[in-house]
Every structure is written in structure tokens, then in C-alpha cells.
Amino acid sequence: MTIIVLVTHPGVGESLRRQAEQIVGHTLSVPLVAIGSQTDPDRGLAELAQVLGRAAGGGEVLILTDLPGATPHNLAMRAAREGAWPVVSGLNLPMLLKVLNHADKPAPELAALAHYGGRQGIIYP
């Protein structure tokens, strides 16, 4: 089982997790680290490393971030190096639901599904 960890700006991850819980009908065990503009990067990285360390104890890890190039994503990329965990950015609700429904897959395969699910949820006429 792959543990899915959300690393987002404050409010984004909480909201998406809450909406996913409404859709699936139960509480989700999805660790979340919120990194705001006032968060000290060293402190944020330490918190993230601690959460990832706990998550990795339960299996593989996939990290989902909200905005590529932003502080949460950059810190996630740094923290992911230690465990060689995949990081996928551009988090949206379809992406989250896709990975939740396939969390039994290995992290690299789940990262590809996250990419697919996120794109699948974007419709343009």
C-alpha cells in the first residue's frame, strides 16, 4: 500500500481531503503538511521530513503538491530525495480520488495514475 501525503498551501489540502471524504463516505488517513508564506523553510522541511518518516514506516510514499515551483512543492522535492519518493504537482480533486482508489499500487505506478487522473479531470471544449 502506498501512503499518499499532501503538501500544500494552508487550506488547499484540508479542503480537498475533506471533499474526498464526502465523496468516498469515510475518513481518510492522508497525512497533510500545510506550508504557508510565513512558514520558516527550515522548520517546514523538518516537519515534512517527520511526517514522511512516519508515513514511510507504513510502506511506499507518494507526495502530491498543489502548485509547481511554490514553496510547498520545493520543500517536498527536497524531502523526497531521502526516500526517492515520487512527487506529483498540480493537485486537484480528480487526481486525489484517482490515487485514493488505487493506493494498493506501487508509488511509481501511482504517480503515473495521479498524473493521468489530474489531467482526466480537466475538460476543455
Segment 9-36, tens digit of pLDDT: 999 999 999 999 999 999 999 999 999 9
Is the separation of the CB atoms in 103 and 79 below 8 Å? no
Say which CATH number the domain at 95 has: 3.40.50.510
Q: List residues bridging with 5 in a β-sheet.
A: 63
Assess if residue 103 is contained within a domain.
Answer: yes
Report yes or no on whether pTM surpasses 0.85.
Answer: yes
Structural domain contains residue 88? yes
Residue 55 lies in a domain: yes
User: How far, in Å, CA of 81 to CA of 74, rounded?
Assistant: 11
**42 belongs to a structural domain:** yes
In a domain, 46, yes or no: yes
Question: Is 80 within the bounds of a domain?
Answer: yes
The span from the CA of 58 to the CA of 93, in Å, is 24
Cα separation of 74 and 22, whole Å?
Answer: 30
Domain that holds residue 92: 2-120
Domain contains 39: yes
**pLDDT, one tens digit for every residue, the chain (125 residues):** 999 999 999 999 999 999 999 999 999 999 999 999 899 999 999 999 999 999 888 689 999 999 999 999 999 999 999 889 999 999 999 999 999 999 999 999 999 999 999 999 999 98
Residues 6+ apart with CB under 8 A from 85: 52, 56, 60, 61, 62, 63, 107
- Among 114, 109, 56, CA closest to 80: 56
- For residue 125, tell me if it sits in a domain: no
Number of domains in the chain: 1
